[in-house]
Structure 1
């Protein structure tokens, strides 16, 4: 029977392989048959595992990106359906298929990799008639200075700092 350390090392290898395939911690935990929180504890307590964890996640993201590029470029084969039924070729009897492409996937990939396709937006906040925004709030320092000025004025007028004689 392997030692607990051997079991841990084996599970860590399983987790890293799963993350490199698909960077999803919950999925990796299910595959390794452990609680996902344990993975995060290892990431926080074991610098070597943390580095491998982040590398595996990055590899998984690259794998997903590669799959997205392939789907965007080559499309996905889907069966042709008409009125809820699969359609056969009239001469061969084979199920008909078609290549389906995702314009939104292509747009997102272009947006991520080329500044010309990135969404541009700007927001400008102005006050009345395009002027600066006016607020009634004053800073704590302004309020303190106002209180000091009031006290100084009362003292200068022969009163007391507390405002009562």
Structure 2
């Protein structure tokens, strides 16, 4: 009973902390947003080195996307984030995107994240109909062929010369 009461209270008061009603993942020209119950975390594309899929146990949503993020010390603030996003433990937990609970097939955000990580030249289309159309068509040819060949997207060298 105490756990049920805590969950109910967390649900009721979560709206006080977060700035927007919708929860989920958003891709923008500058980075990735992860909106959760208690706030939002923003990760610039330059900070993300890898997005990998990790299967969850049965009945828990099916798929997590884990972001390998290397944030700089003194990272700049983002308007979508609240004070909770400054807490290290909260930011580290938000690097795990529970894709099984999103309103789309969980494979779509996994493929899209990896495509835009590998192709910065296409990030300018995010937030436009071009990106929407690309996602509807699953137009991520190199990423999809890699998944078909190896069963997952393989890490590539980052633009900074570090292996991911």
TM bracket, shorter-chain basis: under 0.3
Q: Which has the higher helix share?
A: 1
Larger radius of gyration: 1
TM-score by length of 2: 0.24
Q: Which has the higher strand share?
A: 2
TM-score by length of 1: 0.24
